[in-house]
């Protein structure tokens, strides 16, 4: 009976553990070239400040270094040829905060933006997206590996920079 419980616990652990490698090299290259992908954020990495460290310490977080786990959330960046849609959280200091509670986080839809892609020396791509029709200046730099892992750096003129780790995936067909 004890061995059955151990096997069931191991099976549950394996089934619940997320698969991290999302795409193969050919699929990743195709969706980056076609400018049609979703970056799914799994970890937020705000600038390490005393305020964030104090909050994480009060929450008894083992990640007092500032890494915030976002798995299970629906935070993403959708990139298409004609639009960029961002729905990401923000943790850090805002230099000119808004009084609108719906203005929290990194949320925007852009139809007018620049998209610059370049190959990296050791494989993968660097993608720089600069939306021109959003309220604050935003610069999004996405580093993508051939296996689909990515790091997104968000620069804003009214907030501290923040980074996200995650992966890119093909959009779901409707």
- Residue 83: its pLDDT value, please? 94
| Residue 17 clears pLDDT 60, i.e. is over it | no
Q: What is the mean pLDDT of residues 94-121?
A: 85
- Residue 53: its pLDDT value, please? 65
For the chain, the residue count is: 174
HEC string of the chain? CHHHHHHHHHHHHHHHCCCCCCCCHHHHHHHHHCCCEEEEEEEEEECCCHHHHHHHHHCCCCCCCCCEECCCCCCEEEECCCCEEEEECCCCCECCCCCCHHHCCEEEEECCEEEEEEECCCCCEEEEEEECCCCCCEEEEEEECCCCEEEEEEEECCEEEEEEEEEEECCCCC
CA distance 115 to 107: 18
pTM of the model: 0.78
Share of the chain above pLDDT 90, in %: 41
| Residue 46 clears pLDDT 50, i.e. is over it | yes
The residue that leads in pLDDT, 134 or 54, is 134
């Amino acid at each position: 009976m004890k061995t059955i419980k151990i096997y069931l616990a191991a099976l549950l652990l394996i089934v619940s553990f997320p698969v991290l490698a999302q795409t193969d090299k050919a699929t990743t290259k195709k969706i980056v070239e076609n400018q049609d992908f979703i970056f799914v954020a799994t970890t937020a990495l705000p600038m390490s400040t005393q305020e964030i460290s104090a909050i994480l310490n009060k929450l008894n977080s083992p990640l007092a270094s500032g890494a915030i786990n976002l798995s299970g959330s629906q935070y993403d960046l959708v990139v298409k040829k004609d639009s960029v849609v961002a729905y990401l959280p923000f943790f850090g200091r805002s230099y000119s905060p808004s009084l609108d509670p719906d203005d929290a986080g990194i949320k925007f839809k852009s139809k007018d933006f620049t998209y610059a892609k370049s190959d990296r020396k050791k494989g993968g791509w660097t993608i720089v997206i600069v939306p021109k029709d959003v309220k604050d200046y935003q610069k999004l730099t996405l580093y993508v590996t051939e296996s689909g892992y990515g790091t997104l750096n968000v620069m804003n003129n009214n907030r501290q920079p923040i980074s996200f780790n995650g992966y890119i995936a093909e959009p779901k067909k409707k």
